[in-house]
Amino acid sequence: MSKRSDQGLERKPWKLLLWTALAGLVFGLIGFGDIFEDWLRVARNSFHMHQASRQIVFVAIDDKALHEIGNWPWQRKIDAQLTDRLTALGAKRIFFDINFSFPSSDRRQDEAFASALDRSGRVTLAARARTGLQGTVINDGPLPMFTRHASVGLISVQYNYQNAAWHLPYALKMGGKLVPSLASAIAGVGGPDGQSFPVDYSIQPSTIPQYSAADVLTGKISAKILAGRDVVVGTATDAVGDQVFVPGYGRGFGSQVHIIGAETLKQGRPLDLGWLPAFVVGLAAAAAMLLRRRLAERWAISTSTFAFLLVAPGFMEARLIFANVTPGLFVLLTVASALGWRRYRTRGLVNQVSNLPNLNALRANRQGRSQALVAARILNYEEIVAALPPNGERHLIDQIVSRLNVGSPGRVLYQGDGGIFAWFEDPRQPFGNHLEALYALFRNPARVAGLSMDLTIAFGVEVGSGRSIHNRLASALVAAEEAAHDGLKWKYHDPETLENASWKLSMLSQLDEAIDRGEVWVAYQPKLDLASRRIVGAEALARWTHPEKGPIAASEFVAAAEQHNRIGKLTDFVLEKAVGAAAEINRRGVDFEMAVNLSARLLADKGFTLRLSALLARHGLAPGHLTLELTETAALTGSGEGLDMITRLRDLGVNIAIDDYGTGLSTLDYLKKIPANEIKIDQSFVKGIVDNRSDRLMVQSTIGLAHSLGRKVVAEGVEHRDILDLLIEMSCDVAQGFAIGRPMSLESLTRRVSSERKRTAA
């Protein structure tokens, strides 16, 4: 058995086989499938139909005979005449399938028949057997005065549930003497006491030569017809009875059954194998199917065995070998359909390429709850598969699986898509060494289809935290990813990152409510004009003071909100406050410009310009007093649509600034295309200009470039006086940073602005 086949999902079918086998045994023993069995045999018979030998002739006491000779029962002297007539016509032997067990009212009639029997010397008379407490005894046997001159043949038939005559006995022991059946006597083929044989109904009853007893008695039958042949005399009319059900043909007469029985024995001695051989074949095929994993192989086994069990008995029966197949078919079909059903049900639980259970199966594994979960990630899996020939992925997986199984061959591996494997480990075992050994194994390249490929693997471990397997698997995969990222062979899942991650997610859902509850507010960071040395504006920055967590960095919740499309409400809130604040300051006679950060996502919001101009109108702020800051990347990824929006905002009279300039992939072309009137050099460059030559060069050249394009330059992150001085030297336009002022409340900002006014006014 291959290692994979007894994994998880497939353990139960052996139980199934056992139960099916037991059911099949009972099935066979009680003959439960007989209806179907007979039906099959009749169908098979039609493929090797043949004619009777014509050596046995049926002289029928039919309607014509009753009409011409007289009503039934006939006087015995007619039987005597018939005997004499048949003897005279040269019949080899005469078999009366007629009841001679009762005396006639006129004794002379019986005597006449007895002497005809004596004259003929070749007559066999029918008797029935009855099995009771005293053993098998003759029932309805011919009168002793007849049996003195004639032999006895049994006309007992073994009927099945539907009164079909399938089997005849060879002989029965009665009173110490073996009495043959009529068929056995005709054919001259004997057998042991009590044994019976199947009647071969592929011999067509209609091909038995049949003549009316009337024609025999009235001399219409010539010696040519009967000479040297065995004759069976019996009734063949609805008026008398003795009708039986002849399988495959419908209603027939008892004599025909005995003749076909005799014809059967004349062909040879039938061998009845019973139902066990086919049962064993069916069982073996079912077991073979369970051993195979491939659907095609299972299909081949089941269909070929099924066909064999249906067809082979036909060929055997042509050679008089009989076998019952229904218990065998039952076992085969039950197991095949159970496997089919199981496959149908587990389709979603098996990896289609490797047939390994997949991650859904892993998630459904209840025993895994108490175990550690290891996830392995082949980092360059897709890349490798893309380079492989068709079917190569299977070989690759085989190699990966055999490596992963080193050291623990019995373990159940689960496979996900894209080079993910997972399994459970005993959490009490130190498996770090094991994972490192596995990692070392993967340093050897895999060889598939003559190609040699390096596999990069990383492992992540989740030790069991009582969470659902679904979550634990995700954590183990994250840990594997982190291990790869940190250049480690394997890594434990760190519950702290989990806490962070879940906090991040819950934070998102809390953000909207936080705005409503007033936990979110806006801080303003002043901007200094370097030529006039005056505060000419401020940048509005969102702030969230969480009741439990305290202040949360804008970068943290803004990024999360952006990724999950929740930025709209925050932006509206900040804009509302900032525009209001700017209008207020401008009303005091200060020329003041407010900057608000705009998420690139909003560039796709068609209604934004409309809402914005309404907002400006409502607060009475001139559009030229508002600057929208777009981060470089955000504007960059903007399609034509984004550019259109920027243009429309510019048309409205609003200023556009490129935020965090230098961190993205801006090109000259891009700078030219974006209709921004301000460039904000990212703080990472500004902070270093005093000590770092290349930062200084970068800032200097950007200022030159922006000026040549007619753009204003703002430097962010001005933390010290030295930086400020250097920026003045470089003829930068505006500076923003801790050296000028930290983000502050609106109150502080207005106080600062008005005190500055007073100072300059004074």
Contact positions toward ligand C2E, by CB under 6 A?
Answer: 525, 541-542, 553-555, 558, 567, 570-571, 574, 597-599, 629, 631, 659-660, 683, 716-719, 736-738, 743
Cβ–Cβ < 8 Å for 260, 205: yes
CA–CA separation, 762 and 745 (whole Å): 26
Cβ–Cβ < 8 Å for 368, 424: yes
- Please state the closest distance from residue 651 (CB atom) to ligand C2E, in A: 22
Q: What is the DSSP letter of 75?
A: P
Strand partners, 749: none
CA–CA separation, 566 and 555 (whole Å): 14
Residue 662 binds what, of Mg ion, ligand C2E, none (CB under 5 to 8 Å, by partner type)? none
- Please state the closest distance from residue 696 (CB atom) to ligand C2E, in A: 17
Residue 553 binds what, of Mg ion, ligand C2E, none (CB under 5 to 8 Å, by partner type)? ligand C2E
- Apex 652 CA angle, 646 and 653, nearest 5: 95
**Residue number with the shortest CB distance to Mg ion?**
629
- Please state the closest distance from residue 718 (CB atom) to ligand C2E, in A: 6
Residue 738 binds what, of ligand C2E, Mg ion, none (CB under 5 to 8 Å, by partner type)? ligand C2E
Residue 541 binds what, of ligand C2E, Mg ion, none (CB under 5 to 8 Å, by partner type)? ligand C2E
Residue carrying the six token digits 């075992």: 429
Name which of 150 and 528 has its Cβ closer to ligand C2E. 528
- Please state the closest distance from residue 680 (CB atom) to ligand C2E, in A: 7
- Please state the closest distance from residue 515 (CB atom) to Mg ion, in A: 19
Binding residues for Mg ion restricted to 655-674, rule: CB under 5 A? 659-660
Residue 558 binds what, of ligand C2E, Mg ion, none (CB under 5 to 8 Å, by partner type)? ligand C2E
- Please state the closest distance from residue 566 (CB atom) to Mg ion, in A: 19
Name which of 580 and 737 has its Cβ closer to ligand C2E. 737
Q: Which tokens go with 180?
A: 């043959």
Residue 525 binds what, of Mg ion, ligand C2E, none (CB under 5 to 8 Å, by partner type)? ligand C2E
Q: What is the DSSP letter of 199?
A: -
Name which of 420 and 715 has its Cβ closer to ligand C2E. 715
| H helix intervals, 564-688 | 567-587, 608-619, 632-637, 640-652, 668-673, 683-686
- Please state the closest distance from residue 662 (CB atom) to ligand C2E, in A: 12
Cβ–Cβ < 8 Å for 61, 241: no
Residue 336 binds what, of ligand C2E, Mg ion, none (CB under 5 to 8 Å, by partner type)? none
Name which of 79 and 629 has its Cβ closer to Mg ion. 629
Cβ–Cβ < 8 Å for 193, 57: no
- The DSSP result for 391-439, as a single string, is THHHHHHHHHHHHHTTT-TTPPPEE-SSSEEEEEE-TTS--HHHHHHHH
Residue 621 binds what, of Mg ion, ligand C2E, none (CB under 5 to 8 Å, by partner type)? none
The answer to whether 629 contacts Mg ion (rule: CB under 5 A) is yes
**C-alpha R_g of the chain:** 52
Name which of 242 and 659 has its Cβ closer to Mg ion. 659
* Cβ count near 733 (within 10 Å): 21
Name which of 481 and 556 has its Cβ closer to ligand C2E. 556
Name which of 10 and 716 has its Cβ closer to Mg ion. 716
Q: What is the DSSP letter of 357?
A: B
* Cβ count near 121 (within 10 Å): 11
Residue 599 binds what, of Mg ion, ligand C2E, none (CB under 5 to 8 Å, by partner type)? ligand C2E
Name which of 489 and 752 has its Cβ closer to ligand C2E. 752
- Please state the closest distance from residue 543 (CB atom) to ligand C2E, in A: 7
Residue 138 binds what, of ligand C2E, Mg ion, none (CB under 5 to 8 Å, by partner type)? none
With residue 387 as reference, give the H or E element that holds it. helix 381-387
- Please state the closest distance from residue 630 (CB atom) to Mg ion, in A: 9
Q: For residue 89, what are the CA distances in angstroms to 122, 486, 583?
A: 13, 111, 139
Name which of 553 and 728 has its Cβ closer to ligand C2E. 553
The answer to whether 97 contacts Mg ion (rule: CB under 5 A) is no
CA–CA separation, 7 and 2 (whole Å): 10
- Please state the closest distance from residue 720 (CB atom) to ligand C2E, in A: 9
Closest C-alpha to 433, from 421, 443, 441, 423: 441
CA 441 to chain centre: 33
Name which of 242 and 678 has its Cβ closer to Mg ion. 678
CA–CA separation, 315 and 318 (whole Å): 5
Binding site for Mg ion (CB under 5 A): 597, 629, 659-660, 716
